Amino acid sequence: MSHSQPEMFHPQAQGALADKELRLNFRGAMDYLRHKRKDAFPDADEEKAVRDLAESIRQRCLKKLPELLEQLEANCIRNGIQVHWAENAEQANHIFAEIAQEQCAQLLVKGKSMVSEEIGLNHDMEKRGIRCLESDMGEYIVQLDGDTPSHIIMPAIHKNKQQVSDTFEHNIDGFAPTTDVDSLIQTGREMLRNAFEDAEIGVSGVNFAVAETGTLCLVENEGNGRMCTTIPDVHIAITGIEKVVECLSDIPPLYSALTRSATGQAITTYFNMISGPRKHHEHDGPKQVHLVLLDNGRSQAYQDEELRKTLQCIRCGACMNHCPVYTRIGGHAYGTVYPGPIGKIISPHLIGIKETQSLITASSLCGACEEVCPVRIPIPALLQRLRQESKNKAQANHAPLKGQDAGKNAIEKAAIKGFAFAATHPSVYHGALDTARHMNGLIPHHIGNWTQCRVKPTLAKTSLKTLLAQKAKAKDEGDTQ
């Protein structure tokens, strides 16, 4: 059961590293997903073309975001979809509560939605006496454990077959322990089947919201998303404001980039397009459709042209699967809804820089995440920018992050200023070196011992000056011949 917090990243990471079973689970899962992605892009030129197009679409749509959001709202309302705006998690949960109260709802059945995790929807509904049941198999498993997702695409990726069987045994009456995957999936299906019919409200996320037509697009493999959005009388979709795209023609390139990067599939099993509630002549579908558009710090990122690139993300998870940090410690160690590289750059905008100081430095800046990102988000550069934000006050042209300059350290700042002064004044620099050499004997014994373990480098018998002279002579002789 995970109750981690971003402020406790370092001890949580140590605990994850010490968990051999967790590391083994992630090793197998990450290797599998990396190979699947590699196989999905066999041609390097075609991969480049897909990523270039996806990046250009996301950047174009983000550049027009304010007007596209207004267009989306107008077209959704025209289609019969009720649109709600939420500035933060509290407002979003209040909207859900109001709709649930109007419907006298006791049960919400929910498809996979990271934004609903972001606002803590399940816990908020529970406080109000309303049950919110996850129907995505991975989400259902972690919900039974009282746990949280460890990956944005595969929530229960940190568990193996035996651990899933143990979860079912502890939470489902009459379950016969098994590690057969088909039997485990069938058990989950049987437990969820009646919930779709009993729930008054179905909840889903949104992968793409099309401004041109007022259409909500939902990508999935299990069919539970289609059940959530068609069987209950009321459907509530929630999404971050950055998910809007301009035209229907923008969807196929982004869809291809998403599925191939996430699971190595050319296309997912289901692609749902929702354009409104059931019409009077139709026999199925919800009677009401609501769309909740959530800000929750996204506008803050949007105001800065560099940090805006964070919002290009299409939530494929490829950056996590290739990150040397995430693949060793998993998602729970981060203590945030969005873990891994994308979590490091988006969480400071959602919850503040003070709480995420440790996350933005938990990177070697190797660039593996950027190399596989289907929309080319420059994650290493953004991490460096956020490190600067954590140490300094906001620039005049940029809205401050919550907890701006929380990582400021007076001693560190003084030391850097001192070094900068010495480095630009040779007499001071060399004087400091002489002083340091004379003080070498004052280093405490337990600190100085580390040098005794180092292997002394073997000095070349021939000096560098002699080697250079020999090389020049050989070159001259070659030219003469």
Please say whether the beta carbons of 141 and 167 come within 8 A: yes
Write out pLDDT tens, residues 61-96.
999 999 999 999 999 999 999 999 999 999 999 999
Structure tokens at 42: 């066999």
Cα-based distances in Å from 470 to 310, 311, 464: 54, 57, 10
Q: Specify the pLDDT at position 450.
A: 53
- What whole-number distance in Å separates Cα of residue 389 and Cα of residue 377? 18
For position 405, what pLDDT does the model report? 84
Closest CA to 216 of 112, 313, 76, 71: 76
Amino acid at 272: N
- What is the structure's pLDDT at 203? 97
Collapsing DSSP to helix, strand or coil, 152 comes out as coil
Residues with pLDDT less than 50, the chain: none
**CA nearest neighbour of 247 among 439, 36, 68, 34:** 68
d(CA 292, CA 96): 9
**pTM as predicted:** 0.87
* 336 touches 6 (CB < 8 A): yes
Tokens of 55: 């990046």
How confident is the model at residue 296, as a pLDDT?
96
Count of beta carbons in the 10 Å neighbourhood of residue 436: 9
Backbone angles phi, psi at 191, to 5 degrees: -70, -30
- Which residues contact residue 241 at a Cβ distance below 8 angstroms, ignoring those fewer than 6 apart? 65, 69, 293, 294, 295, 298, 299
Q: Which residue(s) pair with 210 in the sheet?
A: 215, 245
What is the C-alpha separation between 403 and 351, in angstroms, rounded?
A: 9
Q: Checking DSSP bridges between strand 270-274 and strand 215-220, what pairing results, if any?
A: antiparallel
Predicted pLDDT at 430? 87
**What is the full DSSP assignment across 404-433?**
TTTT--HHHHHHHHHHHHHHT-HHHHHHHH
- The whole-angstrom separation of Cα 18 and Cα 21 is 9
Question: Which residues contact residue 334 at a Cβ distance below 8 angstroms, ignoring those fewer than 6 apart?
Answer: 4, 6, 9, 12, 340, 343, 344, 347, 359, 362
The pLDDT value given to residue 471: 74
- In 278-362, DSSP assigns E strands to 288-294
The reported pLDDT for the residue numbered 436 is 80
**Quick one: pLDDT at residue 437?**
79
Contact between 222 and 196 (Cβ < 8 Å): no
Helix-helix angle 181-198:161-171, to 10 degrees: 40
What does the alpha-carbon distance between residue 432 and residue 452 come to, in Å, rounded to a whole number? Answer: 24
> Which residues, in sequence order, are CB contacts of 116 under 8 Å at separation 6+?
110, 122, 203, 205, 238
Q: Where are the beta strands (DSSP E) in 201-317?
A: 201-204, 208-210, 215-220, 234-240, 244-245, 270-274, 288-294
Q: For residues 66 and 297, what is the distance between their CA atoms, to the nearest angstrom?
A: 15
Q: Give me the count of residues in the chain.
A: 481
